[in-house]
Every structure is written in C-alpha cells, then in structure tokens.
C-alpha cells in the first residue's frame, strides 16, 4: 500500500507495481550519494514506469533517469559539472527547453519540498511545493484533468494575459473547491479549483494570469464559462482551436 503517492494513482486510475530493477538502482543511488533517500522519493522511484509518468504528465519536461539521479550536472551555459547533492539538492527533472530545473530538497524529512531554478544556472532556487508527493500529484492533476487533453476527453478553453485581482481569487474560493497551490513555474503561482465535472488551472505572475478551463461535457463547460465570464473581462479573452469548444464560446457570447 502506498503511503505517499496513493492520491496520484487514484487520479491515474491504476495500481502501480514495484520494479525489482528500480529497487536495485535505488540501492546503488543511496551508496553513490552516501545517504538514504527520503521515504516518499524512494516510494515513487521504486514503482514501474515512475519516470515515464513524470514525462507523460508534463509539457514534455525530461525527467532524470533513475540510473543517473544524483550525478553532477552541467548547467545550460555549459558550466560545471555541479555537485548539487553536496548542496542537499537532488535534481530530477529538466524543463523541455532547459529554462528551468526541479530538485528535491534533501532536508532530512520523509516527504521533502521541491524547489525550482528558473534560468539561473543552479544559483537561485524557489520553493514550488511543500512536498515531493504534492508536487507529483499537482502535475498529474494538471496534465490529466486540465491541460493534457490527450490523456482525457476533457474540453478545454484558454485565456492569456489577464490581470488577477484579489476579488477574483475570492470569487473562486467561494464558488469552487480549492486544490493545491504551487509556486515558481510556470508563472509565480499556480492555482487550482474544481467541481465534480469542471477544472480550473491558473498561472499567475506579476501583471498577468493565464487560465485553463476544462470540463467533461459541453453542458458543464457552458456552465463554467457562464459563471466565470463576467470576471475581469474573462469571457472576451477566451479562445480554443477545437470546433466543439468554439461553439460553446459562441453560444455563451450571444447569450443563447
């Protein structure tokens, strides 16, 4: 039974198996870095397909292969290699164009925080999630229920470059269930809200917010657009390249 990642596999709707080869690589990794891995990290990487899940439920962001976790890394300017483990950092994923990297903070806790470095060549790290298990869960949530429509039958609408006043956040908290909030990339803060058949993901940074609105049916999406449309000019900024979703937008905009 999973202690740390059960919620993630509930989202995926699968029951993971333990990989004997992964267990062997984990033992080798702990010897290489001369310390035990945090319990949640070891639980994740012992599972079959752990790295494949990290890749699939992302924007093609490359996970570090288990056999190479903890090895010194060169930065995107060719500097290094950097011994990040000596700084209590276990780098485990690269953004698809090398803009940022994610690392587990080896702080001695069983489910440690995850940090992100956005294009500073390993100099500046921002806390993006309170724990590794929450980090993994939030990415699977994003890419299985919202932006990763190839993994589901969701209908998706997007908006870009809107302001995000405090009253908008208050409205969302009052009308939807709040999911995990994470930080650092993409945008400074990532907010998540949901109902039974609707999902909202918002990337917020200074002066802008990008919204992703997903629903499981045209009726649910129409309801979501109607509810959120009056917020801060949101309706006029919504777009989609999917014919079925374009019809929803047209119907809502003319009040039908």
Per-residue model confidence as pLDDT tens digits over 117-143: 999 999 999 999 999 999 999 999 999
User: What is the distance between the alpha carbons of residues 125 and 2, in angstroms, rounded to a whole number?
Assistant: 29
Q: Kindly give the interhelix angle for 218-228 and 243-253, rounded to the nearest 10 degrees.
A: 40
Confidence of residue 255 (pLDDT cuts 50, 70, 90): low
pLDDT grade for 92, boundaries at 50, 70 and 90: very high
H helices of the chain, in order, are: 6-12, 20-33, 39-45, 50-56, 132-145, 166-175, 218-228, 234-237, 243-253
pLDDT at 123: 96
Q: What is the mean pLDDT of residues 61-80?
A: 94
Which is nearest to 137 in space by CA: 90, 180, 166?
A: 180
Residue 81: cis peptide before it, omega within 30 degrees of 0: yes
Q: How confident is the model at residue 254 (pLDDT cuts 50, 70, 90)?
A: low
Structure confidence at residue 152 as a pLDDT band (50, 70, 90): low
Longest dimension (CA), the chain: 65
Residues 163, 151, 213: CA angle, nearest 5 degrees? 20
Q: Tell me what the mean pLDDT of segment 172-181 comes to.
A: 97
**How far is the CA of 83 from the CAs of 3, 76, 199, 243, in angstroms?**
30, 15, 40, 50
User: Which domains does the chain possess?
Assistant: 6-137 (3.40.1580.10), 151-253 (3.30.310)
Q: How confident is the model at residue 191 (pLDDT cuts 50, 70, 90)?
A: very high
**Per-residue DSSP letter, 73:** B
CA distances from 68 to 57, 208, 233 (A): 21, 37, 47
| Nearest CA among 67, 120, 127, 125 for reference residue 98 | 120
Check if the beta carbon of residue 114 is closer than 8 Å to that of residue 81: no
> In the sheet where 89-94 sits, what is the strand order?
62-63, 89-94, 100-105, 114-118, 126-129
Torsion sign (Cα): 222, 226, 227, 229: positive
pLDDT the model gives residue 234: 86
> What backbone phi and psi angles, to 5 degrees, belong to 171?
-60, -45
Q: Is the peptide bond before 186 cis (omega within 30 degrees of 0)?
A: yes
What would you report as the CA-atom Rg of the chain, rounded to the nearest whole angstrom? 20
- Whole-model pTM? 0.94
Count other Cβ atoms within 10 Å, centred on residue 232.
16
Distances 252 to 153, 217, 232, 236 between C-alpha atoms, Å: 21, 15, 16, 10
């Amino acid at each position: 039974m999973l202690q740390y990642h059960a919620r993630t596999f509930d989202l995926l709707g699968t029951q993971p198996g333990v990989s004997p080869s992964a267990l062997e690589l984990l033992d080798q990794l702990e010897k290489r870095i001369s310390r035990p891995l945090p319990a949640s990290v070891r639980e994740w990487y012992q599972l079959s397909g752990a790295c494949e899940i990290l890749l699939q439920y992302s924007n093609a962001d490359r996970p570090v292969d288990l056999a190479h976790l903890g090895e010194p890394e060169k930065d995107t300017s060719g500097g290094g290699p950097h011994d990040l483990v000596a700084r209590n950092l276990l780098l485990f994923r690269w953004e698809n164009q090398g803009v940022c990297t994610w690392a587990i903070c080896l702080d001695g806790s069983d489910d440690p925080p995850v940090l992100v470095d956005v294009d500073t060549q390993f100099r500046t790290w921002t806390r993006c999630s309170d724990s590794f298990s929450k980090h993994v869960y939030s990415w699977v949530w994003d890419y299985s229920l919202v932006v990763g429509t190839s993994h589901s039958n969701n209908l998706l609408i997007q908006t870009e470059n809107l302001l995000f006043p405090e009253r908008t956040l208050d409205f969302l908290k009052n009308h939807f269930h709040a999911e995990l909030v994470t930080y650092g990339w993409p945008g400074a803060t990532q907010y998540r809200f949901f109902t039974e058949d609707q999902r909202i993901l918002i990337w917020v940074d200074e002066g802008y917010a990008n919204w992703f609105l997903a629903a499981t049916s045209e009726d649910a999406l129409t309801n979501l657009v109607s509810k959120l449309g009056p917020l801060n000019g949101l309706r006029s900024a919504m777009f989609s390249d999917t014919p079925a979703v374009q019809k929803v937008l047209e119907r809502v905009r003319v009040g039908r």
